[in-house]
Amino acid sequence: MSFTPITDAQGFAAFPAPAKLNLFLHITGRRADGYHLLESIFQLIDAHDTIWLRVRQDGQVIHHNPIENVPAESDLTVRAARLLQGHTQQQLGVDIRVEKRLPMGGGMGGGSSDAATVLLALNRLWSLNLSRQALMTLGLQLGADVPFFIFGRNALVEGIGEIMTPIETPAAHFVVLHPPVHVPTPAIFGDPELTRDTPSLKVALLEGRADQVELKNDLEPVAVRKFPQIAECIQWLSQYAPAKMTGSGSCVFAQFIADGAEKNASQNRANAVISCLPKEMTGFVSSTLSQHQLLDFASD
């Protein structure tokens, strides 16, 4: 069923921008322009920002609550709206308010997802009827993770983040910890000690042999060396289940897969772990999404 947004008293409509976790992330090479070739499973989860949008008749794009130290002009939501406006010669504008919940610099794709939600929602609100592929191509100009959120399904992701193969992932709950550091993505990718030659595991994964290969995050050793707080969170979480970093960090997570026999088992285990969290650490429980809530806002 198509997503129907709630509307507030000022006429803003609310659209979710879900987070992602990288179940693993391998660097398989580097392009001539410095961008890295990846192989990763991107998993949508139900933790989300909310993007409030209201169509304007005067063509302006106005951000009503820009983040401190980020000029509205460089905010990804504003850039997404302007990019779409320019591409389609759209006369309408939009008011934007962002309800931020996802950690910034956390490796959960929050900023990219916010931008993807603006593109998807305006495709509907401005009656543009652009195809998913057209929106993904536009989105890649804003950031390497944006096309995934427009693709809208859990996926094996390759290239720099633009080549997607939908993949079935098990229903699961996650304990996500947020170390109190903001990781600069370019510094992690640019580190001389980063390994950039992990062999492709695509065939093994698509043949369902994920249990026979080692799935890691190649960015983790670099991030952990720069930010010991990430190592502390991984160490604490590893007492309960294998723990890994997502994206370029800083967030780390452990996965609890739902067991068909025991309803709520994965949620109960995740809740039990988070209830032991030391008071100096921050974290939450989240569950898998099988698809983006706004999936049908673009046509295939």
Exposed/middle/buried for residue 77 (C-beta within 10 Å: 0-12, 13-18, 19+) = buried
| 182: contact with ligand C5P by CB under 6 A | no
Task: Please name which of 159, 157, 165, 135 lies closest in space to residue 295, comparing C-alpha atoms.
Answer: 135
Please list the residues that pair with 255 across neighbouring strands.
Answer: 174
Determine if 195 is a binding residue for ligand C5P (CB under 6 A): no
Q: Does 189 bind ligand C5P (CB under 6 A)?
A: yes
User: CB 38 → ligand C5P: shortest distance, Å?
Assistant: 5
d(C-alpha 185, C-alpha 18), whole Å: 20
Q: Is 211 a catalytic residue?
A: no
Q: Does 156 bind ligand C5P (CB under 6 A)?
A: no
Residue that has been written with the tokens 């195809």 in this structure: 131
Task: Give least dist CB 25 to ligand C5P, A.
Answer: 10
Whether 20 sits among the annotated catalytic residues: the reply is yes
Under the criterion CB under 6 A, does residue 192 sit at the interface with ligand C5P?
A: no
Least Cα distance to 117 among 63, 62, 50, 64 occurs for: 50
Cβ contacts of 123 within 8 Å, gap of 6 or more: 84, 129, 130, 135, 297, 298
Q: Which of 49, 95, 114, 145 is catalytic?
A: 145
Contact (CB, 8 A) for 281 and 251: no
Q: Does 109 bind ligand C5P (CB under 6 A)?
A: no
Q: How far is the CB of 129 from ligand C5P (least distance, A)?
A: 27
171 binds ligand C5P (CB under 6 A): no
Determine the interface stretch with ligand C5P among 59-67, 138-146, 224-232, 270-278 (rule: CB under 6 A): 138-146
- Please tell me whether residue 186 binds ligand C5P under the rule CB under 6 A: yes
Between 53 and 92, how does the x/- string for binding to ligand C5P read (CB under 6 A)?
Answer: ----------------------------------------
Measured distance between the N- and C-terminal CA atoms of the chain, rounded to whole angstroms: 16
Q: Is 14 in the site for ligand C5P (CB under 6 A)?
A: no
Q: Are 254 and 111 in contact (CB under 8 A)?
A: no
Chain residues that interact with ligand C5P, rule: CB under 6 A? 35-36, 38, 143-145, 160-161, 185-186, 189
Residues forming the active site? 20, 145
